[in-house]
Amino acid sequence: MKRRVYIAYTGGTIGMRKGSDGWHPAPGLLKELMAAIAELHHPTMPDYEVHEYQQLVDSANMCPKDWWHIALDIAAHHEAYDGFVVLHGTDTMAFTASALSFLLEGLRKPVILTGSQIPLSEPRTDARENLVTAIQIAGSIEVPEVCLYFGDKLLRGCRSVKVDAEGFDAFASPNLPPLATVGVEIDVDRELLCPLPDSPLHVALHHPASIGTLRLFPGLSAALVRNLLQPPMQGLILEGYGVGNAPNNDAPFLEAIAEATARGVVIVDRTQCLRGGVKLGDYATGAGLARAGVVSGYDMTLEAATTKLYWLLAQKLPTDEVRRRMQRDERGELSRPTEQGGRRWRLRKMVV
């Protein structure tokens, strides 16, 4: 029996047309162009069905409610198809890939996000390769997780970041090697894949939450931090220097943080660096944050940390439980230093 892939088409450059104010999604265009791609109808390819969303969007317009709708769409078709492709704009693709990883609890089939930097209608498009390979992977490889396929690499969704605004190799997974690389063969690193879940597929409820992100910079005023952390703020991803450090010679800054965490604001530290993670015990400047009630986000990307925080806050868990789970590996999104010394990460790191 031919395998079947469900394609959720949400928008993005891949199906855009140029108008007077720049590129914008063009309803109907992508399906028409796909029908004319011979590779997609090759006998070795799975059958596919494109579900074009009623409101196609530039992914800069995506919000948490949209992630939830995509998750529900996949859950509704989970039994009927062998795999899923989500066609999406590249701008916030890593956020959606991360959010879907958390929302789709108990996922047993591949969900592959892809898109392109140049529309499928253009001669030098990168869409054709991304599309054909994403459909092939979704229909033929047992990867029970949310992934992002772009520029020859299959990345874990909740480890991916957009690193290039213009190049075809636009995404990276700075703290985990690719799950697969694509050349003559599709070479999957099975050791890295998440195990099959033992619970049935379940999509968590959506509740809007007030969260923020703050990248530290020299001279940041304590008053600004205090204002930012006022209600209704429920959680903050703080991007510290290096292994997550912050000034420990600025008492009003640390007081603003400590007051907020005492009120129940969840503050999670991550590093501003592209690679590596937080070790709050390494420096006195990190220990100050820990004493103020900040918890470690280890080596999570900003995309994984923010979407995980949204997901946990939506479940209305007690604050301590949210803090505990932000530090726990839920979907392969973080690795923690080993107990001995904390210099080596548990998961194999990418050597560049």
Residue 133 Cβ vs ligand ASP, minimum distance, rounded to whole Å:
17
Quick note: the x/- pattern for ligand ASP over 293-332, rule CB under 6 A, is ----------------------------------------
Position closest to ligand ASP via CB: 89
What backbone torsions phi and psi does residue 236 show, to the nearest 5 degrees?
A: -140, 135
Handedness of CA 301, 304, 307, 310 (dihedral sign): negative
Q: How far apart are CA 177 and CA 18, in angstroms?
A: 36
Site for ligand ASP in 253-282 (CB under 6 A): none
Q: What are the structure tokens assigned to 324, written together?
A: 């505990």
Measured CA distances, 102 to 7, 105, 278, 340 (Å):
20, 6, 21, 29
Residue 131 Cβ vs ligand ASP, minimum distance, rounded to whole Å:
13
**Which residue in the set 64, 89, 157, 277 belongs to the binding site for ligand ASP (CB under 6 A)?**
89
Residue 165 Cβ vs ligand ASP, minimum distance, rounded to whole Å:
9
Quick note: the x/- pattern for ligand ASP over 44-83, rule CB under 6 A, is --------------xxx-----------------------
Please tell me whether residue 240 binds ligand ASP under the rule CB under 6 A.
no
Please tell me whether residue 189 binds ligand ASP under the rule CB under 6 A.
no
Quick note: the x/- pattern for ligand ASP over 94-133, rule CB under 6 A, is ---------------------x-x----------------
**Which residue in the set 13, 160, 175, 307 belongs to the binding site for ligand ASP (CB under 6 A)?**
13
Q: Which is nearer to ligand ASP, 115 or 244 (CB)?
A: 115
Residue 123 Cβ vs ligand ASP, minimum distance, rounded to whole Å:
17
Q: What are the structure tokens assigned to 293, written together?
A: 């009630």
Residue 162 Cβ vs ligand ASP, minimum distance, rounded to whole Å:
9
Q: How far apart are CA 12 and CA 7, in angstroms?
A: 14
Q: Which is nearer to ligand ASP, 114 or 245 (CB)?
A: 114
- How far apart, in Å, do the first and last CA atoms of the chain sit? 42
Strand runs labelled E in the chain: 4-11, 16-19, 22-25, 47-57, 83-87, 104-105, 111-114, 146-150, 153-156, 161-162, 171-172, 180-182, 186-188, 202-203, 211-215, 235-240, 266-271, 295-296
Cis peptide before 232 (omega within 30 of 0): yes
Q: Which is nearer to ligand ASP, 129 or 269 (CB)?
A: 129
Please tell me whether residue 91 binds ligand ASP under the rule CB under 6 A.
yes
**Which residue in the set 90, 101, 125, 307 belongs to the binding site for ligand ASP (CB under 6 A)?**
90
Active site residues: 13
Query: Which residues on adjacent β-strands are paired with residue 337?
Result: 345
Residues 6+ apart with CB under 8 A from 11: 25, 53, 56, 57, 58, 59, 87, 88, 89
Find tokens 């969260």 and name the residue: 211
Give the footprint of ligand ASP on this chain (CB under 6 A): 11-13, 58-60, 89-91, 115, 117
